């Protein structure tokens, strides 16, 4: 009875929150732009009396209201009279000096929407990514107007919730170090956050542990108020690469859906509140980057990849499906356009029965949205496109990557626009800058003003006068949940947690109907258990169940205080229905691991991003004795597997030292890169030789910044001619100060005494103040048919620094 009453109280409270958040997100204020594609996420604004032309040079003239020297590659978010952007911090306008390179990062900035006055700024570092400086800030932000919160996803994997007024960080998750998120060159960090139904939902490519160890495209829903995981789900097909499609929310057949392009060559629909996959439609061999748009029951998507039919179908495709007609988990095709044209970079827009799709070469295609067929017209506005079109006031506002912005007047008869009625702005470089001013931002509209950005500046343009905001756009209404609806789905909240050994955790059980709507009251007499995990691929024995004491009536657990790190699941069962939550017991400092108690073929419990990328093997240790050691997997050339950080602790650790024994074995005359990580600095034994035939040992962070050498935002290196088949001991120590961090490293033969002096040392003026301890390995010479070089790790220890 207690379990029934507790569930009733929880679900009643959560139902009221979800209903209220849904009403708010379905009909935001007319003067807000809370999603990067607008009020109903279609790329259309109903506002009138917007500028036909402008000039970026002089504020107060030619419709330029204000400008600020803050760049943005995504979309300005507009909420309650404020503008929010995410972008690079201290991005160089040419080749940076060493000092300039050390200060590059990212920031979220808030401005007064009417005056441009900066209200607040929050800066943060970049690390653990191959994304370069001129691709920062690619993910659009999201807003919750009722609760006055804004959300941002950084290049390094911070998912941040800000108080919209003060800029205070209310909660933060580290998607890379907590969930194993991976990124790709070109800003492909996954999608930006979307707010709906009290949730912040993110799409990403990741691999972490257990049933999430295999790298794929997953979606995570976080409680927007506190950052706890509400649900996770994944796409059904094989991962094709990293991607950046941003989800949209639509109501189709009375069901509230999250719809997104995927990293598996398909686009998918999931129930917003449960993550249950409703349908998928495959149409590409590669990833789908553009965001979909929805009009009624029709869903539109485009891509620039190879088509499943092969080379004869060329590259690229535009697809329209009827998502109200699902057959075998697949929506019905209405029409498609595949003429060898790549639509892979910019997203679509739709309004008044017309679908607008930019190709990669900045040619705008206009289709009859219902009938498809050949385009009604094509209009060439430039050479390269990434920004999506904004339809407003009978015009299309659109960026061209190569330093231009266009206002294209649409003709009333629907015919092709003319150059004579297109206003084009050319952005000029600042004195001393190299290259050109990239213009990738997608504009937004609010309260009679259009907001747009380049690499260098944020602009507000307006004709002035009283704003004509137009109609309030709303998503269609959902089919209401019925009082007699049957329970079709269970959900444990939180769906995934990380705790310390000996700690206690409690869970809540929620019940949903078939449409993914929370049921008001669901008195369930559920039973709780600790299930044995499924058998991993290639393993002969399943991992052990979570070592914890569980209350079988409430699900409350207390994990074994004698196990410093482990992982497992909590399960709730009601009749034929069940749900699971993931539990990671995270190693605390001090911590040591010699792998002797880890079975061969496995990895230490509680370690993240290691399954399938590392494994324990039997090898002689530094003293020649038979021993269990950790080995980097060297049989898969896919980038997230060939190169990986295996995270040991939580992202919040600071002021510590990591030490480990390392050994490499050359294969085909090539050595791997291997090392350890502390506070997001990595000490690496570089397997390459320089022009003098010497090998290097280096410490670096954000290695994607190559010039000037050494590679990394800040880095140091020393010549150390380390050899294969020899155990070395390395030590990396990070002391965090208020204004700078001191980073030290050393390496020596593991059979000899530790040298007193540090081999490398530097001070970082833009410090990484915390970060998970990790091991690092990169097998660069692995192929589809041949194993690569070998990297081994032993005697890992992590200790706090003396104060």
The predicted-structure confidence for 247-280, as pLDDT tens digits, reads as follows 999 999 999 999 999 999 999 999 999 999 999 9
Residues 6 or more apart from 533 whose CB is under 8 A from it?
A: 210, 211, 542, 543, 544, 545, 568, 569
Pick the closest to residue 112 from 141, 85, 86, 81 (CA basis). 81
Residues 679, 770: contact at Cβ < 8 Å?
A: yes
pLDDT at 709: 84
Confidence of residue 13 (pLDDT cuts 50, 70, 90): very low
Question: Is the peptide bond prior to 466 cis by the omega test (within 30 degrees of 0)?
Answer: no
Confidence of residue 24 (pLDDT cuts 50, 70, 90): very low
Pick the closest to residue 650 from 741, 566, 774 (CA basis). 774
> Does residue 748 sit in helix, strand or coil?
strand
Phi, psi of 675 (to 5 degrees): 180, -160
The owner of tokens 């209404």 is 477
Phi, psi of 19 (to 5 degrees): -60, -45
DSSP 672-704: PEEEEEETTEEEEEEEEE-TTS-EEEEEEESTT
Percent of the chain with pLDDT over 90: 86
Pick the closest to residue 91 from 74, 102, 104, 108 (CA basis). 104
pLDDT at 179: 98
Burial class of residue 236 (count of CB atoms within 10 Å of its CB; 0-12, 13-18, 19+): middle
- Over residues 156-172, the pLDDT tens digits come to 999 999 999 999 999 99
Pick the closest to residue 730 from 784, 670, 798 (CA basis). 798
What mean pLDDT do residues 748-752 have? 97
Task: Please say if the pLDDT value at position 125 is more than 80.
Answer: yes
Six-digit token pair at 470?
């137009």
Residues 442, 450: contact at Cβ < 8 Å?
A: no
Task: Please say if the pLDDT value at position 30 is more than 80.
Answer: no
Distances (CA, A) of 144 to 28, 148, 264: 9, 6, 30
What mean pLDDT do residues 277-292 have? 97
Q: 540 or 199: whose pLDDT is higher? A: 199
pLDDT at 538: 60
pLDDT at 539: 64
Task: Please say if the pLDDT value at position 621 is more than 90.
Answer: no
Task: Please say if the pLDDT value at position 18 is more than 80.
Answer: no
Three-point CA angle 597, 599, 602, nearest 5° = 120
Pick the closest to residue 393 from 141, 53, 116 (CA basis). 53
Percent of the chain with pLDDT over 70: 95
Confidence of residue 537 (pLDDT cuts 50, 70, 90): low
Residues 6 or more apart from 627 whose CB is under 8 A from it?
A: 594, 595, 596, 618, 619, 620, 621, 794
pLDDT at 622: 85
> Does residue 148 sit in helix, strand or coil?
coil
Residues 6 or more apart from 513 whose CB is under 8 A from it?
A: 481, 482, 485, 486, 487, 488, 489, 519
DSSP 465-523: SS-B--PPP-PPPPPPPPTTPPP-EEEEESSEEEE-TT-EE--EEEEE-TTSPBPS---
What mean pLDDT do residues 541-545 have? 86
Rounded Cα–Cα distance for residues 247 and 455 (Å)? 24
Beta pairing class for 404-409 and 422-426: antiparallel
pLDDT at 22: 53
Task: Please say if the pLDDT value at position 568 is more than 50.
Answer: yes
Six-digit token pair at 373?
């067929």
Rounded Cα–Cα distance for residues 554 and 507 (Å)? 8
Six-digit token pair at 110?
């808030």
- Over residues 666-722, the pLDDT tens digits come to 999 999 999 999 999 999 999 998 888 899 999 999 999 888 888 999 999 999 999
What mean pLDDT do residues 180-187 have? 85
Six-digit token pair at 233?
């789900």
Task: Please say if the pLDDT value at position 2 is more than 70.
Answer: no
pLDDT at 52: 96
The owner of tokens 């269609």 is 476
Sign of the alpha-carbon dihedral angle for 213, 219, 224, 229: negative
Confidence of residue 433 (pLDDT cuts 50, 70, 90): confident
pLDDT at 28: 47
The owner of tokens 């553009």 is 290
pLDDT at 1: 30
Confidence of residue 289 (pLDDT cuts 50, 70, 90): very high
Task: Please say if the pLDDT value at position 456 is more than 60.
Answer: yes
What mean pLDDT do residues 338-350 have? 96
Which element (helix H / strand E) includes 733? strand 728-736
pLDDT at 521: 65
Rounded Cα–Cα distance for residues 350 and 72 (Å)? 24
pLDDT at 66: 98
Beta pairing class for 548-550 and 557-559: antiparallel
pLDDT at 523: 61
Question: Is the peptide bond prior to 494 cis by the omega test (within 30 degrees of 0)?
Answer: yes
Task: Please say if the pLDDT value at position 618 is more than 80.
Answer: yes
Beta pairing class for 390-392 and 44-45: parallel
């Amino acid at each position: 009875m207690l379990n029934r009453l507790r569930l009733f109280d929880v679900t009643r409270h959560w139902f009221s929150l979800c209903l209220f958040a849904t009403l708010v997100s379905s009909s935001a204020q007319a003067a807000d732009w809370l999603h990067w594609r607008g009020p109903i996420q279609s790329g259309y604004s109903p506002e009138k009396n917007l500028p036909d032309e402008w000039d970026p040079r002089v504020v107060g003239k030619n419709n330029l209201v204000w400008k600020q020297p803050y760049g943005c590659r995504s979309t300005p978010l507009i909420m309650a009279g404020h503008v929010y952007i995410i972008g690079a911090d201290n991005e160089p306008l040419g080749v940076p000096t060493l000092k300039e390179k050390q200060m590059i990062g990212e920031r979220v900035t808030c401005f007064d929407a009417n005056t441009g006055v900066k209200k607040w700024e929050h800066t943060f570092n970049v690390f653990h990514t191959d994304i370069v400086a001129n691709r920062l800030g690619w993910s659009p932000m999201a807003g919750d107007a009722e609760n006055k919160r804004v959300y941002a996803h950084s290049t390094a994997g911070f998912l941040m919730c800000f108080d919209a007024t003060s800029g205070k960080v209310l909660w933060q998750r580290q998607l890379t170090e907590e969930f194993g998120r991976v990124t790709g060159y070109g800003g492909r960090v996954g999608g930006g956050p979307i707010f709906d139904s009290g949730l912040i939902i993110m799409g990403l490519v990741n691999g972490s542990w257990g049933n999430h160890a295999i790298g794929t495209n997953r979606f995570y829903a976080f409680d927007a108020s506190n950052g706890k995981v509400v649900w996770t789900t994944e796409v059904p097909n094989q991962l094709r690469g990293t991607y950046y499609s941003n989800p949209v929310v639509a109501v189709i057949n009375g069901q509230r859906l999250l719809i997104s392009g995927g990293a598996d060559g398909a686009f998918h629909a999931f129930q917003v509140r449960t993550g249950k996959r409703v349908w998928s439609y495959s149409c590409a061999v590669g990833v789908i980057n553009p965001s979909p748009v929805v009009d009624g029951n029709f869903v539109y998507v485009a891509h620039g990849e190879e088509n499943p039919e092969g080379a004869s179908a060329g590259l690229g495709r535009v697809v329209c499906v009827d998502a109200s007609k699902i057959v075998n988990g697949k929506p019905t095709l209405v029409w498609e356009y595949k003429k060898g044209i790549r639509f892979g970079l910019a997203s679509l827009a739709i309004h008044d029965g017309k679908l607008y799709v930019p190709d990669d070469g900045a040619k705008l295609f206009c289709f009859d949205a219902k009938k498809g067929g050949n385009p009604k017209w094509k209009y060439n506005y430039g050479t390269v496109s990434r920004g999506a079109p904004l339809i407003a006031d009978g015009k299309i506002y659109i960026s061209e990557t190569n330093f231009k912005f266009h206002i294209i007047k649409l003709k009333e008869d629907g015919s092709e626009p003319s150059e004579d009625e297109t206003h084009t702005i050319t952005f000029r470089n600042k004195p001393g800058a190299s290259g050109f001013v990239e213009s990738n931002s997608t504009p937004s509209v609010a309260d009679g003003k259009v907001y747009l950005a380049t690499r260098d500046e944020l602009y507000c343009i307006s004709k002035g006068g009283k704003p004509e905001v137009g109609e309030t756009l709303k998503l269609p209404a959902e089919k209401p949940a019925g009082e007699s609806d049957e329970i079709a789905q269970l959900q444990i909240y939180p769906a995934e947690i990380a705790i310390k050994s000996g700690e206690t955790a409690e869970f809540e059980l929620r019940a949903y109907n078939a449409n993914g709507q929370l049921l008001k009251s669901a008195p369930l007499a559920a039973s709780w258990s600790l299930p044995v995990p499924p058998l991993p691929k290639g393993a002969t024995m399943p991992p052990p169940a979570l070592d914890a004491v569980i209350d079988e009536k409430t699900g409350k657990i207390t994990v074994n205080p004698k196990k410093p790190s482990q992982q497992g699941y909590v399960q709730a069962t009601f009749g034929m229905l069940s749900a699971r939550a993931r539990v990671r017991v995270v190693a605390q400092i001090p911590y040591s691991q010699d792998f002797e108690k880890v079975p061969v073929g496995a990895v230490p419990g509680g370690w993240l991003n290691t399954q399938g990328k590392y494994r324990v093997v039997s090898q002689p240790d530094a003293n020649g004795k038979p021993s269990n050691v950790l080995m980097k997997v060297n049989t898969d050339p896919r980038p997230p597997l060939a190169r990986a950080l295996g995270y040991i602790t939580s992202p919040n650790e600071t002021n510590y030292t990591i030490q480990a024994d390392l050994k490499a074995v050359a294969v085909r005359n090539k050595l791997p890169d291997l090392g350890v990580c502390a506070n997001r600095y990595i000490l690496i034994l570089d397997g390459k030789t320089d022009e003098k035939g010497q090998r290097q040992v280096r410490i670096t962070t954000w290695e994607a910044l190559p010039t000037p050498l050494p590679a990394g935002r800040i880095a140091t290196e020393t010549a150390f001619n380390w050899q294969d088949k020899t155990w070395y001991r390395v030590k990396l120590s990070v002391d965090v100060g208020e204004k700078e961090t001191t980073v030290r490293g050393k390496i020596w033969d593991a059979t000899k005494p530790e040298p007193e002096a540090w081999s490398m040392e530097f001070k970082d003026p833009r410090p990484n103040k915390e970060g998970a301890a990790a091991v690092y390995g990169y097998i660069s010479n692995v192929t589809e048919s041949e194993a690569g070089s070998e990297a081994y790790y032993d005697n890992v220890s992590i200790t706090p620094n003396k104060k």
